[in-house]
Amino acid sequence: MQILVALLASTALAFAPRATVRAPTSRLGSVWYDAQPQRRALIAGNWKLNPSTAQDADALLALLASNVRTMAAPPEIVIFPPMPYLQKALEAVDGTGIAVGAQDISLEESGAFTGEVAASMVRSLGCDWALVGHSERRTHYDETDEICNKKVQKCLAQDGLKVILCVGETEDEFESELLETIVSLQVRKGLAGVDVADADRIAIAYEPIWAIGTGKVATPEQAQAAHVAVRRALSEVLGAEAARRVRVQYGGSVTPESVDRLMAQPDVDGALVGGASLVAEKFSRICEFSAPGTPETAPPREITARVAVACQNALGESPIWSQRTNTLYWVSAVEGELWRWNCEDAPYKIVPRFGTTLGFVAARAGGGLLLGGEDAILSLDETAREAIVLAAPPMEGDTRPNDGRVDRDGRMVMGMYNNYHRAGASQGEDNSGLYRFGADFEYEELLDYKFRVSNCCCFPADGRTVYFADTPTRKIYAFDYPKSGKPSNRRLIWTQPPHWPGGPDGAQCDAEGMIWVALNGAGRVVRIDPATGAIDLVVHTPGCPTPTSCTFGGPDLDELFITTAARPAGGKLFRAKMPFGIKGLPEPEWQGANN
Ligand code: PGA
């Protein structure tokens, strides 16, 4: 037993006043991910002023109808033929599930308006959709956002008629980084005054004008970022709840070749297809895009995290979310700093008065924190103003506490770090152990071998497996983790591929039993299925190759927080909203007695 109670009075460490940093205020350029995966894909074909004859239209309709009839699980499909073909289109696709829509509708309802077609006319014919605000109408017919808004209102006034509002920036606007400003304005103005009850009758087509009919398709990542901007604007007009349900399509040179990767983006819910919708085979293939998450063929989905706190940690580590205080805590190891943020107020750091390098922070049952320092295991009270030494860490050779997490039985599992390793990857020998301690600080060594740099320690929901990596080996193992006794049945679950530099660092489990690993050196956090070793999600930390650890947080545990190291270019805290309803697990609290 190594409790240093006698030292408590003399070593009580008072913190200096907190230092604040500003929370980022600008949301432009950042990426926000929706956790609602339930939107049904919507693929639309905009025929524009094509084909030239009714006979060609018949042929196209017949082919398309027969293709869609044989599809196993078609998405929602709508075609927008020119007005004179609407009737025949409705007849040709009857029974296929394909809906038909009008490419435009009039601002007028009836009367002396030669050449116009009213919403009531197309609706009474049997059309389910209308297209509003296509860039060709905005450019060639001077349709402003105000006109588009009136047309949207005209559509929604027709019982059961749905509307796709098109938005998108010009190439100049794109080059000037005005994308978010422009599409946000177009969405907000185009939908002004729309009743939230009509949200399910609206879809947005994001079509960068520079991509329409040009063959220049936006990259999936560009499309995703734009769709996030659209959804943000939607939530301003319709509220967050409705914004989650509205489908956002991508349009602009969509082809069978580009559709899969576009549709793999979490906020791309469909496509508005021009040129390729005039070739039945192409349009059919687009409708049969490779469904997101399809095993084997689906590449991992890529997400970009954004900077949440510009904390400039030399070595950010060990993020935990406390549900007790709704606060994220993390340490900057070598500076001996503790950071905290409730995601609302300005984040702040407890300035270094610990006098020790910090390896981990953990929450304590009953409140307060446990800190794993190089020279001492420390306890902090609820207000985090005072630190007291609880115990000395188990020092074997030249090591210090590194990565660690509380297991699901409330004990701390802490790995050590070979201090020689700081000097270089080949310095020193394997001298670090993995230890567990409960309230009495009886250190139990868990592995029957030593290693260099402990990492990846985390536990799935049932607590009966532990993951572990010795970072320089670039391998992650799973062990059976009994309630008492040593972990056993070591099995390799993942090896970092050679084209990714660095190694596996901190990790966390999600509620689905997947393991999220910060790949320090490779600029990403990956989600690994421990059963297969497959990666299905990649979260990038742009500009920062050195993510060090991650955890889930926020009131709903649906955001991933990522700590990073400063060298060569990092040190900030990143966050990424989780797609597909992914959530973390509550962080267990260390069950040690208070002080
Ligand atoms: P495109 O047209 O697919 O031919 O680029 C898209 C659109 O204008 O809706």
**pLDDT tens digits, 384-431:** 667 888 888 887 667 778 888 999 999 999 888 776 666 555 556 677
Q: Indicate the range of 106-120, 126-140, 278-292 predicted with least confidence.
A: 278-292
Q: Is 207 a catalytic residue?
A: yes
Q: What is the pLDDT of residue 421?
A: 60
> Averaged over 529-550, what is the pLDDT?
91
Q: Is the pLDDT of residue 5 over 80?
A: no
> Averaged over 86-112, what is the pLDDT?
95
Tell how far the Cα of 113 is from the centroid of ligand 1, in angstroms.
29
Of 49, 138, 214, 253, the one to substitute when testing ligand 1's pocket (max ligand atoms within 8 A of C-beta) is 253
Take residue 97 and report the two structure tokens written for it: 């599930």
Span 136-148, pLDDT tens digits: 999 999 999 999 9
Residue of 584, 338, 572, 576 whose CA lies nearest to 458:
584
Tell how far the Cα of 585 is from the centroid of ligand 1, in angstroms.
43
DSSP secondary structure letters along 317-366: EEEEEETTTTEEEEEETTTTEEEEE-SSS--EEE-S-S-S-EEEEEEBTT
> What is d(CA 268, CA 222) in angstroms, rounded to the nearest whole number?
11
Span 306-359, pLDDT tens digits: 999 999 899 899 999 999 999 999 999 888 889 999 998 888 888 666 778 888
- Residue closest by Cα to atom 6 of ligand 1: 274
Q: Who wins on pLDDT, 238 or 30? A: 238
- Please state, rounded to an integer, the average pLDDT across all residues of the chain: 86
Tell how far the Cα of 164 is from the centroid of ligand 1, in angstroms.
14
- Catalytic hit among 207, 288, 335, 559: 207
Tell how far the Cα of 275 is from the centroid of ligand 1, in angstroms.
6
Whole-number percent of the chain with pLDDT over 70: 88
Give the CA angle between residues 400, 584, 290 to the nearest 5°: 120
Q: Which atom of ligand 1 is nearest to the CA of 251?
A: 6
Q: What is the pLDDT of residue 296?
A: 41
Take residue 199 and report the two structure tokens written for it: 């949200």
Q: Is 540 a catalytic residue?
A: no
Say if CB 118 and CB 131 are below 8 A apart: no
User: Is residue 584 very low, low, confident or very high in pLDDT (cuts 50, 70, 90)?
Assistant: very high
Q: Who wins on pLDDT, 23 or 406? A: 406
Residue of 173, 191, 285 whose CA lies nearest to 230:
191
Q: What is the pLDDT of residue 277?
A: 97
Evaluate whether 40-287 and 301-577 have a shared fold. no
Phi-psi category of residue 487: left, alpha or beta, with phi > 0 → left and psi -120 to 50 → alpha? beta
Q: Hey, where are the domains in the chain?
A: 40-287, 301-577
Residues with CB under 6 A from ligand 1: 46, 207, 212-213, 251-254, 272-276
Of 104, 273, 277, 282, the one to substitute when testing ligand 1's pocket (max ligand atoms within 8 A of C-beta) is 273
Query: What's the CATH number for 301-577?
Result: 2.120.10.30
Q: Who wins on pLDDT, 437 or 217? A: 437
User: Is residue 12 very low, low, confident or very high in pLDDT (cuts 50, 70, 90)?
Assistant: very low
> What is d(CA 465, CA 451) in angstroms, rounded to the nearest whole number?
20
> What is d(CA 340, CA 342) in angstroms, rounded to the nearest whole number?
7
pTM exceeding 0.85 = no
Sign of CA dihedral 562, 565, 569, 573: positive
Task: Report the length, in residues, of the chain.
Answer: 595
Q: Who wins on pLDDT, 99 or 428? A: 99
Tell how far the Cα of 63 is from the centroid of ligand 1, in angstroms.
20
Q: Is the pLDDT of residue 214 over 90?
A: no
Q: Is the pLDDT of residue 4 over 50?
A: no
Say if CB 525 and CB 519 are below 8 A apart: yes
Say if CB 524 and CB 302 are below 8 A apart: no
Q: Is the pLDDT of residue 498 over 90?
A: no
Q: What is the pLDDT of residue 29?
A: 29
- Residue closest by Cα to atom 1 of ligand 1: 274
Class of domain 40-287: alpha beta
